[in-house]
Structure 1
Amino acid sequence: MAIDWYMDFVDTGYTPGKDELVCLYYFEPAEGIGREEAVGRIASESSTGTWTTLFTLPPRMKDLQATAFQIEGNFAKIAYPLALWEEGNAPQLMSGIAGNIFGMKALANLRLIDVSLPAEYITHFRGPHFGMEGIRKMMKVHGRPLTGAVPKPKIGFSAQEHAEVGYETWMGGFDFVKDDENLTSTPFNRFEDRVKLMAKMRDRAEKETGETKSAFINITAETELMKKRAEFLADYGWNYAMIDVVVAGTAAVSTLRDHCSDLGLAIHAHRAMHAAFDRDQKHGITMQFLAKLMRLIGVAQIHTGTAVGKLAGTKKESLLLANLLREQKTEASGNMLLEQDWGGIKSAFPVSSGGLHPGLVPEVLDIYGIDLVLLVSGGIHGHPDGTRAGATATMQAIEAWSEGITLDEKAGTSHELARALEKWGYYRPK
């Protein structure tokens, strides 16, 4: 009598239907487990299977089984019937394709690389409210990257000090001032105080420059409190809210997407904690899947790395993530990305941040082009002449790239850039 039925979930001759979700996994079987059996166990545990054959199994259950249909080396593709998935429920999707399977003893390692989502599944999600063009129209910025900076140190300033640094950032030509991931509402910098004081400085900067200024103010907290904080932002004329989307979770982000949209707020998604599960190349979940999930839910932008700054990530990975967020149709890329047609889902901005300064700006723009949010923080606040000069130097670096000239050439007529290059040159932080 058979004990298990894992091989029933493997059919290398199977062709997925257009309405099925297809997942790409990297896997390593545990000692003594065959490759096909290991993949069968993934398909089983993530759909209708269990560890043993069952006494009663209605024939219709066969139509709900996941099917492992391609196994090449340590990579496998598994197709999932659409009926397995609740409409518009991102947490339920994660519970299936990224749930119990990571704890199976039959697998030494398992990594969810990507999922191709069918049109019928996507239609139940709203995606970003604005899209890249909507954000550009809102900010009145065209033909260049959007720019922003975190006051540094990223936590420790009073609300007044934070707002003053923000004012200098805006006056240097930047569009945004950004809270960092661990600044919410601390005893020395309460959320409400920061919102009010930043609004006052924003209005002053807008009046003096004639430019639209904004901020990514962190509302991350319990979900109902996040909703109240979003309302407070709207009351003070803000058009953005920032959420630490990984630690908040897909359920909270889904709720805040709709609430923020009703208030006219875009969501800046900080990816704090992502590397806990995506840095290991053999186990966990990839950043490209996280980025895809967040675009599906509806954030306006999410951090994707720099490739040249202080955080891990290659140029290829950064560009792959950027295109995943920006393009209407994503082409498959080897064992890194599956084909995806986004249908009516709008685009989202990639955000490049982490260890940047004016000397690295051209390299980042070579990778991303102009459709990104460029965050340069320590690299403006550490400028020898202060924050405003640092922001100005960064804008001059952007101009040099747009003009097709070197930074050294530009520095000949741009004092702030020249001073930045004197300090940092083309140094890459480690």
Structure 2
Amino acid sequence: MVGEIPRLGFLTRFQLSGLDLPADFGPGPGFGVAGIRRQFGCERGPLLCRSMRPAVGLDIPTMAGLNRAVLEGGFHLVKDDELQVFADEAAFRAHVQAMLAARDAARASTGQRKGYLANLICEPDELQARWEIACTLGVDAVLVAPGIQGLGTLATLARQKRMPILAHNTFSDLLTRHPDWGIAHPVLSGLYESFGADWIVTSGEYGASDGVGMDDAWPFGRPQRAMPILQGGKSPEGLPTFRAAIGSDDYMLIVASWVDGHADGLGNAAGIFRAAVDAQLPA
């Protein structure tokens, strides 16, 4: 689609602003909104997820404790941060096992379905082993970064339909945010959905405040739709705006700073946010 355009020095700006693909192009989401809801036992309303922060510098027991606290407080799932890295397969396995133990403890204490999403951003020769670890140990979902790892990586995993996949916007934001060069965010989102993403991160301003980001029309139209993710300083007060931006409650909120810094503590803050979500659901 783009070919050699970027290297032609006489062009000073270019944006891929539209792309019409066949309806059956690519594998599409293996799970989509309906499958995600089944996976995490959330029949209606937005899903709440905390991303591990800080991404580096915390030991495994601390990470596991934070995950358990926010899950027991009321969040549906937790996820590794996209900036987390693991030295080798053994380090990745040890991390995943500890996060799954925290998830299982939260399931046992609440009697509710809870989930853990693992980070599969890694080198090409590490991917298959880590994917198998995630599948074998019972991880609920994974994230990849197509902007780094390639759309083919996303499609390869999606075709297997073993668990939902989050297409993270790491690095791909460089394609969507430059005013002169790049690809329109709706186009990139549509590509990610076509290549198999079950979740897609929206642009940072999407649903942030009145009208901001609303021109970024939600592009998904496949029958098996991907679920949008809203992130970046989200709080319970914004729930009506988030619903208006998406047009439904079929989205996931990534919330960390609001619960992490709450005066009542992480677990209680998770409960407050969850109560706000449940209260705004239609009767």
Shift of 1:218: 0.4
* Whole-angstrom distance in 2 between the partners of 1:147 and 1:108: 42
| Count of aligned pairs between the two proteins | 280
Structure number with higher relative contact order (C-alpha < 8 Å, ≥ 6 residues apart): 2
* Whole-angstrom distance in 2 between the partners of 1:127 and 1:253: 10
Shift of 1:100: 0.9
Partner SS for 1:298: coil
- The corresponding residue for 1:138 is 39
- The corresponding residue for 1:352 is 230
Does the 8 Å CA contact 1:307/1:315 hold for their aligned counterparts? yes
Given the alignment of the two structures, is residue 149 of structure 1 paired with residue 61 of structure 2, yes or no?
no
Deviations 1:364-409 (A, max 9, x none): 22322310011111111111121111211211221343369xxxxx
Runs (5+) with no aligned partner, structure 2:
none
Does the 8 Å CA contact 1:147/1:175 hold for their aligned counterparts? yes
- The corresponding residue for 2:191 is 293
Shift of 1:154: 2.8
Partner SS for 1:190: helix
* Whole-angstrom distance in 2 between the partners of 1:382 and 1:238: 28
Larger radius of gyration: 1
Matches within 5 A, 1:275-286: 275-286=173-184
Given the alignment of the two structures, is residue 111 of structure 1 paired with residue 15 of structure 2, yes or no?
yes
* Whole-angstrom distance in 2 between the partners of 1:272 and 1:310: 20
Does the 8 Å CA contact 2:207/2:242 hold for their aligned counterparts? no
- The corresponding residue for 1:206 is 107
CA RMSD in angstroms, aligned pairs only: 2.4
Deviations 1:316-361 (A, max 9, x none): 145x13xx23x33xxxxxxxxxxxxxxxx62100000112123333
Given the alignment of the two structures, is residue 382 of structure 1 paired with residue 265 of structure 2, yes or no?
no
Given the alignment of the two structures, is residue 101 of structure 1 paired with residue 1 of structure 2, yes or no?
no
What fraction of aligned residue pairs are identical, expressed as a percent? 26
Does the 8 Å CA contact 2:53/2:81 hold for their aligned counterparts? no
Deviations 1:224-257 (A, max 9, x none): 4222112111222122111122111112222222
Question: Which of the numbers 223, 227, 248 marks the counterpart of 2:124?
Answer: 223
* Whole-angstrom distance in 1 between the partners of 2:207 and 2:112: 29
Question: Which of the numbers 401, 408, 412 marks the counterpart of 2:280?
Answer: 401
Shift of 1:163: 0.9
Runs (5+) with no aligned partner, structure 1:
1-96, 329-344, 405-430
Does the 8 Å CA contact 1:140/1:212 hold for their aligned counterparts? yes
Letter in 1 for 2:17: I
Shift of 1:285: 1.1
Shift of 1:148: 0.2
